[in-house]
């Protein structure tokens, strides 16, 4: 009897939260007015340095991140109890994006979307074997991209959505193609 066994799976966790994104949006924009952008993976836009100290409008989010991380790591079989190591804000305007990158020296990373207008750009995950898949299993040799054949996997940026994923997973954020409204998100790492 034939069988296909899935090996080397890559988990991505997501949950729709019910947080007050308006107060978080206002808070993020106020921090932007007081601080210059750092340059990490962002091309254009504004990215905060790691947030230090107290940030009351974000406290509910921080609790949700650690709660959902606990569920995620339990489900995939990690035994560590993780806590937030660092957090930063991303504000991307028209045509701004984030290059491919990983989050080194962390176990789980993620993003929470505060503001996601139409055409604001999604998050794209890149398979660790993308170069080989793009060469050997390119668009001319596969019927439809799926979990086995895809070299890239796009997940939508949705307001109030939380994503968690392994920190070693290569990813990027596609350009915001909305000429009038910004995409606002909070990224973080857990150790």
pLDDT value at 115 more than 90: yes
Closest CA to 112 of 42, 181, 63: 63
- Give tens-digit pLDDT for 56-110: 999 999 999 999 999 999 999 999 899 999 999 999 999 999 999 999 999 999 9
Question: What is the three-class DSSP state of 34?
Answer: helix
* Percentage of residues in the chain having pLDDT higher than 70: 100
pLDDT value at 34 more than 90: yes
13-120+156-190: CATH topology is Jelly Rolls (2.60.120)
- Give tens-digit pLDDT for 4-30: 999 999 999 999 999 999 999 999 999
DSSP state of 48: -
For residue 98, which phi and psi values (nearest 5 degrees)? -125, 130
pLDDT at 134: 79
Please tell me the distance from the alpha carbon of residue 126 to that of residue 21, in angstroms, as a whole number: 28
Please tell me the distance from the alpha carbon of residue 88 to that of residue 101, in angstroms, as a whole number: 15
pTM for this predicted structure: 0.95
- Mark 139-168 as b/e (b = at least 16 C-beta within 10 Å): eeeeeeeeeeebbebebebebbbbbbbbbe
- Give tens-digit pLDDT for 142-152: 898 889 988 89
CB-count exposure of residue 74 (10 Å: 0-12, 13-18, 19+): exposed
pLDDT at 164: 98
Please tell me the distance from the alpha carbon of residue 27 to that of residue 160, in angstroms, as a whole number: 15
Closest CA to 7 of 108, 124, 128, 126: 128
């Amino acid at each position: 009897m034939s069988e296909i066994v899935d090996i080397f799976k890559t988990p991505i966790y997501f949950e729709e939260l019910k947080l007050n994104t308006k107060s978080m949006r206002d808070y993020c924009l106020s921090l932007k007015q007081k601080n210059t952008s750092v340059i990490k993976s962002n091309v254009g836009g504004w990215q905060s340095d790691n947030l230090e100290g107290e940030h009351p409008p974000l406290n509910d989010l921080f609790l949700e991140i650690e709660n959902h991380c606990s569920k995620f790591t339990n489900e995939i079989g990690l035994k560590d109890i993780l806590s937030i190591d660092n957090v930063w804000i991303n504000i991307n305007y028209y045509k701004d994006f984030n290059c491919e990158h990983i989050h080194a020296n962390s176990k789980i990373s993620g993003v929470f979307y505060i503001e996601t207008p139409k055409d604001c750009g999604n998050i794209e995950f890149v398979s660790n074997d993308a170069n080989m898949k793009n060469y050997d299993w390119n668009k001319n040799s596969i019927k439809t991209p799926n979990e086995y054949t895809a070299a890239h996997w796009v997940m939508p940026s949705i307001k109030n959505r939380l994503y968690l994923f392994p920190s070693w997973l290569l990813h990027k954020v596609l350009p915001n193609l909305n000429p009038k409204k910004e995409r606002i998100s909070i990224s973080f790492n857990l150790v």
